[in-house]
Structure 1
Amino acid sequence: MSDRLIFMATRNDATVAGAETLVETAAALGIRRIGFKDVGLDRNGLAALHARIKAAGAESVLEMVSLDPAAEAAAARLAVDLGVDLLLGGRHSDAVLPVIAGHGLRYMPFAGAVSGHPSMLSGSDDEIVADAARLSAMDGVSGVDLLAWRRPGDAAGLIAKVVAAITPKPVIVAGSIDSPAAVTAVVAAGAAGFTIGTAAIEGSFAGAAPELSAQLGAALKALAEAEGRISAAGTVDLARAFAGFDDCWSPRIGGRINDMHLKLVKLSGAFVWHRHEVEDELFLVTRGRLLMKFRDRDEEVAAGQFIIVPHGVEHCPVALDEPCEVVLLEPATTVNTGTAGGGRTVTHLKSI
Structure 2
Amino acid sequence: MGLRFIFMLTRNDRTVDDAAKHLETALSLGVRHIGFKDIGLPVGDLKALNATIQASGATSYLEVVSLDRDSEVVSAKAAVDIGINILLGGTRVDDVLPVLKGTGIEYYPFPGRIVGHPSVLEGSVEEIAASARDLASRDGVHGLDLLAYRSPLPDIPGLIAAVCKAAGKPVIVAGSIADKDRIALVRQAGATGFTIGTAALDGEYPANGIELETQLAAIVRDVANLNGHLSPFGKKGLDTAFASFTETWSPRIAGQVNDMQIKLAKFEGDFTWHFHEREDELFLVHRGRLLMRFRDREEVVEEGEFIVVPHGVEHCPVALTETCEVVLLEPATTINTGTAEDARKVEDLATV
Task: Give TM class, smaller chain.
Answer: over 0.9
- The Cα shift of 1:203 comes to 0.8
**Structure 1 counterpart of 2:161, one-letter code:** A
Using the aligned pairs only, state the percent identity. Answer: 56
Answer whether contact 1:183 1:219 (CA < 8 A) is retained.
no
1:200 corresponds to = 200
Distance 1:160 1:103 in 2: 31
Question: What TM-score, normalized to structure 1?
Answer: 0.97
Say yes or no: does 1:158 pair with 2:164: no
- The Cα shift of 1:341 comes to 2.2
Distance 1:226 1:154 in 2: 22
- The Cα shift of 1:3 comes to 6.5
Say yes or no: does 1:322 pair with 2:322: yes
Answer whether contact 2:43 2:82 (CA < 8 A) is retained.
no
- The Cα shift of 1:234 comes to 0.9
Distance 1:105 1:187 in 2: 25
Distance 1:294 1:190 in 2: 57
Distance 1:211 1:177, change over 3 A: same
Distance 2:47 2:241 in 1: 56
2:333 corresponds to = 333
Question: What TM-score, normalized to structure 2?
Answer: 0.97
1:162-311 aligned within 5 A:
162-167=163-168, 169-311=169-311
Q: How many residues align?
A: 351
Answer whether contact 1:24 1:56 (CA < 8 A) is retained.
no
Instruction: Tell me the SS of whatever aligns to 2:48.
Output: helix
- The Cα shift of 1:2 comes to 4.7
Answer whether contact 2:64 2:87 (CA < 8 A) is retained.
yes
- The Cα shift of 1:100 comes to 0.9
Distance 1:208 1:2, change over 3 A: farther
1:48 corresponds to = 48
> Which stretch has the larger CA shift, 226-235 or 82-91?
226-235
Answer whether contact 2:3 2:223 (CA < 8 A) is retained.
no
Answer whether contact 1:39 1:66 (CA < 8 A) is retained.
no
Distance 1:285 1:72 in 2: 67
**Structure 1 counterpart of 2:21, one-letter code:** T
Distance 2:155 2:23 in 1: 32
Say yes or no: does 1:102 pair with 2:102: yes
- The Cα shift of 1:67 comes to 2.2
**Structure 1 counterpart of 2:281, one-letter code:** E
Distance 2:184 2:208 in 1: 16
2:146 corresponds to = 146
Unaligned stretches of 5+ in structure 2?
Answer: none
Answer whether contact 2:249 2:267 (CA < 8 A) is retained.
yes
CA displacement, residues 134-190 of structure 1 (integer Å, 9 cap, x when unaligned):
1111121111100111112222121111111111x1101111111011111111111
Answer whether contact 1:3 1:31 (CA < 8 A) is retained.
no
Distance 1:28 1:208 in 2: 18
- The Cα shift of 1:278 comes to 0.5
CA displacement, residues 76-122 of structure 1 (integer Å, 9 cap, x when unaligned):
10111121110000111122111111212111101111111111111
**Structure 1 counterpart of 2:156, one-letter code:** A
Distance 1:48 1:345 in 2: 65
Q: Which of structure 1's runs of 4+ aligned residues deviate more than 6 A?
A: none
Distance 1:158 1:284 in 2: 56
Unaligned stretches of 5+ in structure 1?
Answer: none
